[in-house]
Structure 1
């Protein structure tokens, strides 16, 4: 079981790193949404974490779909920027979640999540 857990974490890390380099706003957003959702579920399922958003895990998941649909209704430049910002936020959250699953201290996981956000945003602007 430990080997499967480590393999699952390795796959999620590879996936999480990939969303920052996706070819377009849509794919990057979808990758980050899946990574954030999967890592949140992993943290909850492992008992290492919980959904701290007051609207709860199912509602957060639905909100990701709503944000995507709203962004697609905006002019391309505005919608792309909304997707970029939320992609970076979900990417930071996914990094935070992975560290929680791996047992990192809360402060370290939050800092790592914030660093990931800024790294992703910087990469999007290059």
Structure 2
């Protein structure tokens, strides 16, 4: 009896259950937890996206990583199921736009700027 309860408790299954979950049923091990650092990264990106993203020194002090690494991680995090359900579509889209800009990815259909603002319009005339 002790072995069964110990195994069930170790696996995270309810102690009153005498059976293991059927194949295909989720077990506690199949759920992924969102870490505090992941939550803080996405929250920082959400707060700062209106201003072009968080300052590089803030990212370095809080997470010990550079700006490009931060934005790559944020892009990976907000594409997961857990964060898709926590962010509005508007916030997620805006965060993606800012993060892509910091890592050098331009939106589809828009040419990358290579010079100062307005330089492209001078060549059109």
TM-score by length of 2: 0.27
Higher relative contact order (CA 8 A, sep 6+): 1
Higher alpha-carbon Rg:
2
